[in-house]
Amino acid sequence: MEVRDGLRYSDDHEWLRLEGDVGVIGITAYAADQLGDVVFVEMPAVGATLTLHQAFGVVESVKAVSDLYAPVGGEVVGVNEALAGRPELVNSDPYGDGWMVKLRVADAAQVDALKDADAYRELIRAG
């Protein structure tokens, strides 16, 4: 299962890539694999303020409906509109075109508290 170095990971299987003070967030390849074929993604509105661990959306697959949780708090500054018409991007390219939201990070310490790639590999190995 692909886990990319250079990203940060939550225990809820979201990833975060920091671009300045903006975090690009999606779900991991592991999470996408566990869900199966994604058929719908619900995301927050641009301008919404999220707190750490707050549910911010839903991923629906052929097997399950799962909440998405904010790995950090901040303001939503972008959403991946492509997922409305092509939710399967979450499965085919979870770390690229399947990203979900962009969040202006409110507290950089929350990013530092996320797992690095090695710690996330350990989490899914143990899971």
| DSSP string computed for 52-117 | TT-EEEEEEESS-EEEEE-SS-EEEEEE-THHHH-TTHHHH-TTTTT--EEEEES-HHHHHTSB-H
- Record: fold of 8-126: OB fold (Dihydrolipoamide Acetyltransferase, E2P) (2.40.50)
Q: Specify the pTM.
A: 0.95
Please tell me the distance from the alpha carbon of residue 102 to that of residue 80, in angstroms, as a whole number: 8
What pLDDT was estimated at residue 127?
Answer: 76
Question: What is the pLDDT tens value at each position of the chain, 127 positions in all?
Answer: 899 999 999 999 999 999 999 999 999 999 999 999 999 999 999 999 999 999 999 999 999 999 999 999 999 999 999 999 999 999 999 999 999 999 999 999 999 999 999 999 999 999 7
* Residue with tokens 């661990």, as numbered in its chain: 53
Domain ranges across the chain: 8-126
* Residue with tokens 């969040």, as numbered in its chain: 103
